Amino acid sequence: CCGFFVILILGNFWFLAVLYLLWLYLDWETPCTGGRRSQWIRGWTVWKYFREYFPIHLIKTSDLSPNHNYLLGFHPHGVLVAGAFGNFCTGPSFRNLFPGLTPYLHIMPIWFVCPFFREYIMSAGMVSASKESVSYVLSNKGGGHASVIVIGGAEESLNAHPGSLTLNILKRKGFIKMALKHGAHLVPVFSFGENELFKQVANPKGSWLRNVQEKLQKIMGFALPLFHARGVFQYSFGLIPYRQPIHTVVGSPIPVKRNLNPTTEEIEQLHALYLQKLRQLFEEHKRNYGIPEHKSLIF
C-alpha cells in the first residue's frame, strides 16, 4: 500500500496522492471513533479459506448480554494474532455465538498511518488501541460493544515460541482501569494454538538478540520477532504459518461496577481477579487442546 502511494506521487497521478492526503487529514480521527467497518469485506470468501486453513474455531463458555459493554482480554499475542483476526474481524462466528454484540479489535495506532492500508484494516473492524479509541467503544450507551485488546502487546510476540505459555501481563493494568472507568465487564480470552503457527529464532531473556529486539521495540513501537514456518510447496522453510488448529475460548464475564476514579488498590484487586479467572479458564480447557497436565500459565 505504501509502495502504491509512492508510485502515485512519483508518477503522473500525483493529484490523486494529494487528494488522498486531504482525505487522510479529514479522516484522521476515524480509527479512534469506532472506525468504518464493511460487512462486505468482513464476509469475503477468502477469509473462509483463511479460517479453514488452520482451522480457526471460536469457543463460547458463557452468554454475554448485549445490554452491557465488554472488554475482552485476548491471550497470547503470538506472531500473527490469527485467532483474534479470524474470529473477531471475519466471518459470522462471533455474531452467531454472541448476538447483539459488535466486536472491535484494537491494534497499534501506527498501522493507521499507512496510506490505503488503514482503510482496509478499518473495514475489517479494527480500530486504534489508544485510550481515546477504547473509551469511545466502551462509552456506547445501552451496551452492545466489545473491545478486544491483545493485552500482551507487541512485546509478548517475542515469547511466541511453540509450547510457550508465558504472558506479558503482570504490569499491564491500563485495561483494568479502563474497564472500571466505563463499567465494562471483563472477559478473559485464551487462544490455544496461537504460539504454534511459527518457529522463532531462540531469543531468551538476556541474550544479545533479545536485547536488540527489545530496544528496537521501544524505539519503533512494535517488535520484530525472527520467525519462520513452511513454504508454499514444501514444509521445511518459509513464511507461511503451519497448519495448526486454533481454538479461541471466550471465558465468562467478570462484572465490573463503574468507578470514574478507581484507587490503586481497586485496580490491583480487579487485576488479581482477572488473572485468577484467566488461569482458571486455561486450566479448565487445556486438556481439550493438547496441553500437558503439568503445564501452566506463566505471568
The predicted-structure confidence for 224-263, as pLDDT tens digits, reads as follows: 888 999 998 888 889 999 999 999 999 999 999 999 999 9
In a domain, 100, yes or no: yes
What is the CATH classification number for the domain harbouring 178?
Answer: 3.40.1130
Helices in the chain by DSSP H: which ranges? 2-10, 14-26, 39-42, 45-53, 82-88, 93-97, 117-123, 131-138, 153-156, 174-182, 208-220, 264-285
Average pLDDT over residues 152-179: 93
CA dihedral 216, 222, 223, 227 (to 10 degrees): -130
Q: pLDDT band at residue 214, thresholds of 50, 70 and 90?
A: confident
Query: DSSP label at 110?
Result: G
Residue range(s) defining the domain that contains residue 154: 32-289
Contact 219, 185 (CB under 8 A): no
Residue 110's nearest CA partner among 31, 208, 194, 202 is 31
Mean pLDDT of the 275-287 span: 97
For residue 121, give every residue at least 6 positions away whose Cβ sits within 8 Å of its Cβ, in sequence order, or none: 107, 111, 112
Q: Considering the domain boundaries, does residue 8 fall inside one? A: no
Span 134-159, average pLDDT: 94
Rounded CA gap, 47 and 44, in Å? 6
The pLDDT value recorded for residue 152 is 93
Per-residue confidence at 194, pLDDT binned at 50, 70, 90?
very high
Structural domain contains residue 41: yes
Q: Is the pLDDT of residue 3 over 90?
A: no
Residue 27 lies in a domain: no
Q: Is 11 domain-assigned? A: no
Cell of 84: 483474534
Count up the domains in the chain and report the number. Answer: 1
Q: What is the pLDDT of residue 266?
A: 97
User: Can you say whether the dihedral through the CA atoms of 249, 255, 260, 266 is positive or negative?
Assistant: negative
Nearest to 262 by CA among 174, 201, 187: 174
Residue 23 within a domain: no
| Residue 154: Cβ within 10 Å count | 19
Q: What's the confidence (pLDDT) of residue 60? A: 97
Task: Show the cell assigned to 179.
Answer: 474497564
Q: Is residue 13 included in any domain, yes or no?
A: no
Note whether residue 16 is domain-resident: no
Distance, CA of 267 to CA of 256 (rounded, Å): 11
**Rounded Cα gap, residues 262 and 248, in angstroms:** 31
Q: Give the number of other CB atoms < 10 A from CB of residue 287.
A: 10
pTM recorded for the entire structure: 0.93
Cβ-contact 35, 127 below 8 angstroms? yes
Q: CA geometry: angle at 275 spanning 271 and 276, to 5°?
A: 115
